């Protein structure tokens, strides 16, 4: 755990958001394990903030299903289970194509340029085999499509899902050959969006998420055999 860089002149909501992001990150990267208790006084000391933003952040984590209030024990970490990850991939297969379809129909020129730049940088870092930078760009590519679809509900759901499986995505992404395959798939999706071909963008995105899910399943089987 680390102290949060707090702007003392900022609004309390901003502070709560920083606390939420810090706790969410520690849950998603495994620093906070399922079953761990979130003790307000302890977190307040560790993060260097008052208990109020801690309490508010824990409520938001509960709404997202990452923690659970347990009688006489307080907030307990649930985390993201293997079944949660599988469910998220299946749901993404069903709805993320819709975001790509709507993006193809509603995207503006500035958003297209941002997508192009992201893919170009992805190609550069694929050649350098820089996995950390590639994972960041992968997240950006999808988030740009969520924004471009111009649907607040769809964007919120997909952003949360995409973030919750960040650890699994990272593990899958690092498997041999997946980064290059992802780049090819992103290029195809980008072209469909530039061509304003919503149907093709939707189909390609479905296949992209499906391939990522298959790759993750293969990786898990390989780990079990080891």
**5: phi then psi, degrees, rounded to nearest 5:** -75, 100
Name the token pair of 10.
């900022």
Q: For the chain, give the percent of residues with pLDDT over 70.
A: 91
| Phi, psi (rounded to 5 degrees) for 70 | -115, 125
**What pTM did the predictor assign?**
0.83
Per-residue confidence (pLDDT) for residue 222, from 0 to 100:
61
Q: Which segment, 20-29, 37-46, 139-148, is predicted with the most confidence on average?
A: 139-148
What are the CA-CA distances from residue 161 to residues 154, 177, 206, 219 (Å)?
11, 24, 15, 20
Is pLDDT above 50 for 11?
A: no
**pLDDT over threshold 90, residue 221:** no
> pLDDT value at position 174?
75
CATH topology of domain 12-77: Arc Repressor Mutant, subunit A (1.10.10)
pLDDT of residue 7: 44
* Dihedral angle, C-alpha 85, 90, 91, 93, nearest 10 °: 130
pLDDT tier, 6 (very low <50, low <70, confident <90, very high otherwise):
very low
Structural domain boundaries of the chain? 12-77, 82-225
| 118-168 residue pLDDT tens | 999 999 999 999 998 999 999 999 999 999 999 999 999 999 999 899 888
SS3 55: helix
Higher pLDDT, 189 or 1: 189
Q: The tokens of 104 are what?
A: 């193809």
CATH superfamily of 82-225: GntR ligand-binding domain-like (1.20.120.530)
Kindly report the average pLDDT of the chain as a whole number: 89
What span, in angstroms and rounded, lies between the C-alpha atoms of 54 and 17? 10
Question: Token pair of 70, please?
Answer: 């347990």
Check whether 69 has a pLDDT greater than 80. yes
pLDDT in tens, 163-215: 899 888 888 877 888 999 999 999 999 999 999 999 999 999 999 999 999 98
Q: What angle do CA 19, 22, 159 make, to 5 degrees?
A: 100
- How confident is the model over 39-48, as a mean pLDDT? 90
């Amino acid at each position: 755990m680390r102290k949060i860089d707090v702007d003392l002149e900022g609004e309390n909501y901003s502070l709560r958001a920083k606390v939420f992001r810090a706790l969410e990150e520690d849950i998603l990267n495994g620093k906070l394990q399922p079953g761990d208790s979130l003790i307000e006084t302890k977190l307040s000391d560790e993060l260097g903030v008052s208990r109020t933003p801690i309490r508010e952040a824990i409520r938001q984590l509960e709404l997202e299903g990452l923690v659970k209030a347990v009688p006489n024990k307080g907030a307990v970490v649930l985390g993201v289970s293997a079944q949660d990850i599988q469910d998220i991939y299946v749901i993404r297969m069903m709805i993320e194509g819709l975001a790509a379809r709507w993006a193809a129909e509603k995207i503006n020129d500035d958003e297209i340029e941002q997508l192009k730049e992201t893919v170009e940088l992805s190609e550069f870092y694929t050649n350098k085999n820089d996995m950390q930078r590639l994972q960041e760009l992968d997240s950006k590519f999808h988030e740009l499509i969520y924004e471009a679809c111009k649907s607040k509900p769809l964007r919120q759901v997909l952003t949360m899902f995409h973030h919750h499986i960040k650890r699994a995505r990272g593990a899958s992404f690092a498997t041999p050959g997946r980064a290059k395959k992802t780049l090819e798939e992103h290029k195809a999706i980008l072209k469909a969006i530039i061509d304003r071909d919503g149907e093709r963008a939707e189909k390609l995105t479905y296949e992209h998420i499906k391939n990522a899910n298959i790759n993750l399943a293969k990786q898990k089987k390989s780990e079990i055999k080891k």
